[in-house]
Copies of this chain bind each other. A is one copy, B any other.
Amino acid sequence: MKKIIGVLMSFVLVLCLVTSAASANSKKNNDPFKDKRMHVQIVLFDGFDLLDALAPYEVFAAAGMYSNGAVTVELVSAEGKRSVPSGLNGPALEAQAALDPKRPGIILVPGASGKPAGNSEDTIPNILKKAMMTGLSEKLKQAFNNEEVIVATVCGGTLLPAMGGLLKDRHAVTNQIGMEALGALGAIPIEARVVEDGPRFVSGGGVTSGLDVALYLVDRELGPQIANAVEQLFEYEKRGTVWRAEGIAPIHFDEN
């Protein structure tokens, strides 16, 4: 009897070991982040806002450092390699390559830096209008049509695809001063720091929300550990719940 129990116990032990090994294996194979690679193109245009572009740039660059190169990031322009002046007579940055809407990964569009309103050439609306008269307009359309591209916009950058008619009935956010214009261009403006409309379009509010857009995408695409390491290095914690059109919608308490 003792012998039978001994054999049975061994059998159970072997079974346990085999099962747990198989489970560990399947866990490894099912890890959605395994061998993940991500390329980010940050789009520059004349009059772009430095911080809108470079806060996400630096989040992605640090994510690349911590992930041993799983993220790569480059500055691009619709025209290709050139020196691109930022707004408000700010410093120029060198675009390293042409924006390629066929390349899988993230395409991030910053806003403009300029006077919030007025009639002069250096107002934000005029800088954005001018940008949409370049090749950027057609390339943004191709990016939105490419199933392998995630488009992210920051601040006034959300108004660029909106001006191109690409945000009809889509949820999005931009800088507070541009929310009315965003609605007038056919989008559905949402009061949130970061808005996700389908996995392939993520927009951020004012200037510094670019940090939150980039941290959210690093978390979603590469997992929370890399995003957390970047947060610690930057001494910044991602702000705001990312809004999505799902779950229970809150009661809208009207004033009347």
Within 8 A of B (CB), among A226-244: 232-236
The reply on A75 being an interface residue by CB < 8 A is: yes
Within 8 A of B (CB), among A89-119: 90-94, 96, 113, 115-116
Q: A55 contacts B61, CB within 8 Å?
A: no
Q: A209 contacts B193, CB within 8 Å?
A: no
Q: How many angstroms between the C-alpha atoms of A57 and B90 in the bound complex? A: 9
Per the CB 8 Å criterion, the residue count for chain A at the interface is: 35
Question: Number of copies of this chain in the oligomer?
Answer: 2
Known: A91-B75, A206-B234, A233-B116. A58 touches B65 (CB 8 A): no
Q: B235 contacts A176, CB within 8 Å?
A: yes
Q: For A206, give the chain B residue with the smallest CB separation.
A: B235
Q: For A57, give the chain B residue with the smallest CB separation.
A: B50
Quick one: which of B65, B75, B88, B208 contacts A235, CB cutoff 8 A? B208
Q: A208 contacts B193, CB within 8 Å?
A: no
Q: B235 contacts A205, CB within 8 Å?
A: yes
Q: B193 contacts A207, CB within 8 Å?
A: no
The reply on A54 being an interface residue by CB < 8 A is: yes
Quick one: which of B50, B65, B175, B193 contacts A54, CB cutoff 8 A? B50
A interface vs B, CB < 8 Å?
Answer: 49-51, 54-55, 57-58, 61, 65, 75, 88, 90-94, 96, 113, 115-116, 175-177, 193, 205-209, 211, 232-236
Known: A176-B235, A193-B235, A235-B193. A207 touches B90 (CB 8 A): no
Q: How many angstroms between the C-alpha atoms of A180 and B225 in the bound complex? A: 25
Which B residues are in CB contact (< 8 Å) with A207? 58, 233-236
Which B residues are in CB contact (< 8 Å) with A65? 88, 115
Quick one: which of B51, B58, B75, B233 contacts A175, CB cutoff 8 A? B233
17 contacts between A and B (CB under 8 A): A50-B57, A51-B234, A54-B54, A61-B90, A75-B91, A91-B93, A91-B94, A93-B93, A175-B235, A176-B232, A177-B233, A193-B235, A205-B235, A206-B233, A206-B236, A207-B235, A208-B235
